[in-house]
Amino acid sequence: MIKPNAPQREKFETLFDVPRETMEQLAQYEVLLTKWNQKINLVAPSTIPDIWHRHFADSAQLWSLRNLDATNWLDIGSGAGFPALVLAIFAKKQSPNLIFTLVESDQRKCAFLINVAQALDLNIIIKPERIENLASQPFDMISARALSSLPELLEISEPFCKESTICLFPKGNRYELELTKARKTWHIEEQKIPSLTDAESVILRIESFSRA
């Protein structure tokens, strides 16, 4: 039996003021991830003991940065479900009409995402394909974690943006360099929100971008 990391869970629950039902679902997600990670490479095994901080908190901090009126959310390169599955678990109680579309080209990771979505009854659509092959359509929110550089993220996000779309891209300590490179091609209106999980990282909240 997998024992929960009680101190991390309690810190997470307090930091994000998480309802009991949401905590229970996150705990189920933790169990499923730990079990599946023994068979396929979802996350680095060394990060499993630190999952509530390294993965759950890192994802959950995006929730307060969303457009409160959003009804659809695109997550690109969803992998093991960060941040999308964590956010969908939050949304189940707080924004039940919010639909998440998860795009992931790895078929084994898609199988895991489907398993979690079904087990937790989440409002999720899973697209087992590359983002370049997804039909162009507008989304209220777009996220991507540890997927690519900012210039490439803007390039692949553009077909899915409308005037009010908000993009949330967690970035490490080289985010200023990425912004400088991106500005060679794009006009960007962004906020740099300090990360709650890494003092050198930020979340880039991009409210508007257009080709330079």
pLDDT at 3: 43
Q: What is the CATH number of domain 6-211?
A: 3.40.50.150
Asked if residues 142 and 168 have their Cβ atoms less than 8 Å apart, the reply is yes
pLDDT at 188: 97
Every domain of the chain and the residues it spans: 6-211
pLDDT at 88: 98
Rounded CA separation 192/79 (Å): 24
For residue 83, whether the previous peptide bond is cis, meaning omega lies within 30 degrees of 0, is yes
Return per-residue pLDDT of the chain as tens, 212 residues.
Answer: 234 467 889 999 999 999 999 999 999 999 999 999 999 999 999 999 999 999 999 999 999 999 999 999 999 999 999 999 999 999 999 999 999 999 999 999 999 999 999 999 999 999 999 999 999 999 999 999 989 999 999 999 999 999 999 999 999 999 999 999 999 999 999 999 999 999 999 999 999 999 98
- Closest of 34, 27, 36 to residue 48, by C-alpha: 34
Scored b (16 or more CB within 10 A) or e, 148-186 reads bebeebbbbbeebbeeebbbbbbbeeebeebbeebeeeb
Neighbours of 38 (CB within 10 A): 9
pLDDT at 5: 63
The reported pTM is: 0.94
pLDDT at 45: 93
pLDDT at 1: 28
* 3-state secondary structure string across 125-148: EEECCCHHHCCCCCCCEEECCCCC
pLDDT at 7: 84
Rounded CA separation 138/191 (Å): 22
pLDDT at 193: 97
Amino acid at residue number 13: E
